[in-house]
Structure 1
Amino acid sequence: MTKEPVSGDPGLILRIAAKGDGVTADGRHVPLSAPGDRLRADGGLDYGPHHAEPPCRHYPLCGGCQLQHLDDEIYARYVGDRVVGALTGQGVEAGAVLPPIVSPPRTRRRASLRAAKFGKKMQLGFSSENSHRIVDMTMCEVLHPALFALVAPLRNLLGPMVGDRRAAHVRMSLVDQGVDLCLENVGAEGLELAERLNDFAQTHRLARLSIDEGFGPQTRYEPEPATITLGGVPVAMPTNAFLQATADGEAALVSAVRGAMAGVGTIADLFCGLGTFALALGEGRAVYGAEAARDLVLALKMAGNRTQRRLVADHRDLFRRPLTPEELNRFDAVLIDPPRAGAREQVQQIALSTVPVVAYVSCNPGSFARDAKHLIEGGYALESVQPVGQFRWSTHVELAGIFRKTGE
């Protein structure tokens, strides 16, 4: 956790807890406080040197950010401390915890917003934390400008498509051709609405516009196939497919993994998705990628075939059918990038293998630390951890951990 010089003042904020509250010297949790602030007897705060002026007028009501009141130094330290705290909780020690990498403001390239109509007023934005209340967005310091530019026009578009007090979802991703937009839980029947949608897509030069009325997304506009370039290779982008939140964050995670994979031969990329790592690491060597989502596997396979990569994309549910030690031992290195819950079943198999190098990319320090403990018990050492803050000013932290078999 974030450490500050200990004071005899019990109201001094010393550190930031995992969920974002400041913690006083006597253990009280204080929302919206920063290390160096002082909690007064009346419950107010005297701000210290690390308390920043939030750049967004919607803070702290908007649930998109939780930590805009921290200065850059303390926020970066918080990102690293989230990882260290999770490891300490499992009794795991890393050889090195590298300086955190934090994405700049206004670089988030994917977002999920909520929309609802109350009378004639359409509200669109992030929800308040732990609430269904929508904060009607008029500015945003985290979204890429190309995404935010659609917020105001979308209010007009959605008016006749959303019933009164009915919630809809707006999912946006920035792909090679522009913004990939999917509108969920909306009504879009009839010629007039079809024309409005087409005009909107053309006016704003969307890469794709899809509508999901409860039966899965249906493409309404896509002048050319939407792609996302990964490792220099354009890959077909299925609607709402997972994408690293920022280009900077993706580059940081790839760089951390690439350093560990230098000079190794065949690689297995488990939970490979669209191939963020398989394509970045696969030039000049063979890569096996396993993924449970069929549309992602097909997109990756097509990209590999088109570029004549030595890439095998396997449709495989690694929770139900993890790779066995015998299968894993065929590879010189394994990369694993599981969902937030981690990958206990697959990690247990890796721990029994003889794979020399394991790179573990995680969006949850808690599940990573639990899985890291299993790997260490299986004879691996945690060489280094790279904390990454893609979701700037939030409590959401990602990382890349490098493990090496010790030979014991």
Structure 2
Amino acid sequence: MSDIEIIERVAAKGDGVTATGRHIPMTAPGDRVMPDGTIEPGPHHAAPPCRHFGICGGCQLQHLDDEALSQFVHDRVVHAARGQGLEPEIVGGTHLSPPLSRRRASLKAVNGGGRPLIGFREAGSHKIVDLRECHILVPELFALVAPLRAMLAKRKGKYALEIELVLTDQGVDCAIKGLSLEGLEQTEAVLDFCRDNGIARMTLDQGYGPEAFWEPDPVTVSPGGVPVPYPAGAFLQATRDGEDVLAAAAREWLEGARVIADLFAGLGTFAFVLADPARVLAAEAARDAHLACQQGAARNRKPVKSFHRDLFRNPLRAEDLGRFDGVVLDPPRAGAREQVAQLAQSGVERIVYISCNPSSWARDCKTLIEAGYRLKELRPVGQFRWSTHVELASFFIKDSD
């Protein structure tokens, strides 16, 4: 009897799994696990493009080809649904964001033995991978790693910095936490970095909260093609194509709706896509995002009314939701248990639920099913390419009695 085992699927944390339940790291469906533990690559085992793969915590699945990666994203979403007894009538095709498409990144920087190290953390460690290449970030973000390294190389002493990079309409928005400027020389070095690299905005947190240090022009992003002020640190979908796919699903499913509620609206990612001809109420708890959405609507004359409200502590009530033709919600990873409970009682005919966490989504949506809604369609989205982090768009319908 042969002891060779075949990898049948990829588990949620990225390990390959055999028919006997063995978890084998860095394996792909179709790989053969030999009796001595060596791996014979199968048809879906790809050569990782990045030299840092296996050490850097930014990616877990570069050893999968696109077919296996798509299947992984599909399975994560569908299995989460079925785990709560949710059976979608339609499962749409899986969307994968391409390489070099991530438009926001959180990097770390430390003084490692007299030289700056900048990158993501190693998997399961606080050590920093000093990035020399990256196949997920848009080129505009990665192009700043070397200049940042050169700027920090002039500093002496220990430091541990958090660097947030976001690609905006005007260029890269760079926010650094933990970088204190002492004296004219250090101040001029940061100013030179901003000017020489065309930085759209530099925000520094020197221990007293973030403050804008450099911003030649107001920084904006453009959901649905509508320029909206971008508050430093505000939530933005990880990739432009991922945002477009999610927004297109919401627009398709809510076509013909005249009055729409956008819950957990952020900067108006979905509100501005749905506005015209619909009127949209955009509810958001973060005050800076709410005000940015409000300003974007006013300046561009869009029928979007931004509403400041904490939907966790004070969800919109069922009686208020009942006047909308459709609702879209995109809550944080924790989900929206209380708000969904109100939605379930509202009787609103169409609900679009966007989620970055299939587990909390499935838990919430079980409430909708129990209230008589149908899961009409489910679309898996792999916006974080080569990561175990997956997203989805879903569409629920309440049939008229």
State the TM-score, normalized to the length of structure 2: 0.98
Query: Conserved in 1, the CA contact under 8 Å of 2:4 and 2:35?
Result: no
Q: Which residue of 2 aligns with 1:203?
A: 196
Q: What is the Cα deviation at residue 187 of structure 1?
A: 1.6
* CA distance in 2 between partners of 1:107 and 1:356 (Å): 35
Which of 320, 333, 338 matches 1:345?
338
Query: Conserved in 1, the CA contact under 8 Å of 2:108 and 2:161?
Result: yes
Q: Which residue of 1 aligns with 2:292?
A: 299
Q: What is the Cα deviation at residue 162 of structure 1?
A: 7.2
- 1:371 equivalent to 2:328? Answer no
Q: What is the Cα deviation at residue 213 of structure 1?
A: 1.7
Query: Conserved in 2, the CA contact under 8 Å of 1:161 and 1:187?
Result: no
1:229-273 CA distances to partner (integer Å, 9 max, x unpaired)?
111110000001111111110011011111101111100000000
* CA distance in 1 between partners of 2:357 and 2:181 (Å): 37
* CA distance in 2 between partners of 1:162 and 1:70 (Å): 42
Which of 27, 32, 35 matches 2:29?
35
Q: Structure 1 residues 171, 274: closer, same or farther in 2, change over 3 A?
A: same
- 1:109 equivalent to 2:111? Answer no
Equivalences for residues 112-127 of structure 1 within 5 A: 112-127=106-121
- 1:312 equivalent to 2:305? Answer yes
Which of 52, 64, 67 matches 2:58?
64
Equivalences for residues 315-394 of structure 1 within 5 A: 315-394=308-387
Q: Which residue of 2 aligns with 1:150?
A: 144
1:283-308 CA distances to partner (integer Å, 9 max, x unpaired)?
22210011010000111101111112
Which of 87, 98, 118 matches 1:93?
87
- 1:52 equivalent to 2:46? Answer yes
* CA distance in 1 between partners of 2:310 and 2:182 (Å): 37
Q: What is the Cα deviation at residue 192 of structure 1?
A: 1.3
- 1:216 equivalent to 2:203? Answer no
- 1:132 equivalent to 2:126? Answer yes
Query: Conserved in 2, the CA contact under 8 Å of 1:162 and 1:168?
Result: no
Gap runs ≥5 in structure 2: none
Letter in 2 for 1:369: A
Q: What is the Cα deviation at residue 215 of structure 1?
A: 2.3
Q: What is the Cα deviation at residue 158 of structure 1?
A: 2.2
Q: Which residue of 2 aligns with 1:173?
A: 166
Aligned-partner SS, 2:377: strand
1:351-378 CA distances to partner (integer Å, 9 max, x unpaired)?
0111010000000111111111111111
Which of 210, 225, 228 matches 2:221?
228
Query: Conserved in 2, the CA contact under 8 Å of 1:116 and 1:162?
Result: no
Which of 272, 287, 291 matches 1:279?
272
Aligned-partner SS, 2:227: strand
Q: Structure 1 residues 161, 366: closer, same or farther in 2, change over 3 A?
A: farther
Higher mean C-alpha displacement, 398-407 vs 51-60? 398-407
Q: What is the Cα deviation at residue 9 of structure 1?
A: 6.2
Q: What is the Cα deviation at residue 334 of structure 1?
A: 0.5
Q: Structure 1 residues 9, 76: closer, same or farther in 2, change over 3 A?
A: farther
Aligned-partner SS, 1:73: helix
Which of 244, 249, 253 matches 1:251?
244
* CA distance in 2 between partners of 1:202 and 1:216 (Å): 23
May I ask how many residue pairs the two structures share in their alignment?
401
Query: Conserved in 2, the CA contact under 8 Å of 1:231 and 1:280?
Result: yes
Q: Structure 1 residues 327, 8: closer, same or farther in 2, change over 3 A?
A: farther
Query: Conserved in 1, the CA contact under 8 Å of 2:263 and 2:330?
Result: yes
Q: Which residue of 2 aligns with 1:396?
A: 389
Which of 38, 46, 69 matches 1:75?
69
* CA distance in 2 between partners of 1:178 and 1:312 (Å): 28
Query: Conserved in 2, the CA contact under 8 Å of 1:66 and 1:393?
Result: yes
- 1:22 equivalent to 2:16? Answer yes
Give the root-mean-square deviation of aligned CA atoms.
1.4
Q: What is the Cα deviation at residue 161 of structure 1?
A: 5.1
* CA distance in 1 between partners of 2:155 and 2:17 (Å): 46
* CA distance in 2 between partners of 1:272 and 1:394 (Å): 25
Letter in 1 for 2:399: T
* CA distance in 2 between partners of 1:41 and 1:304 (Å): 63
Letter in 1 for 2:241: D
Q: What is the Cα deviation at residue 160 of structure 1?
A: 4.7
Letter in 2 for 1:129: A
* CA distance in 2 between partners of 1:216 and 1:163 (Å): 22
* CA distance in 1 between partners of 2:156 and 2:241 (Å): 35
Q: Structure 1 residues 9, 348: closer, same or farther in 2, change over 3 A?
A: farther
Q: Which residue of 2 aligns with 1:4?
A: none
Q: Which residue of 2 aligns with 1:3?
A: none
- 1:184 equivalent to 2:177? Answer yes
Letter in 1 for 2:225: G
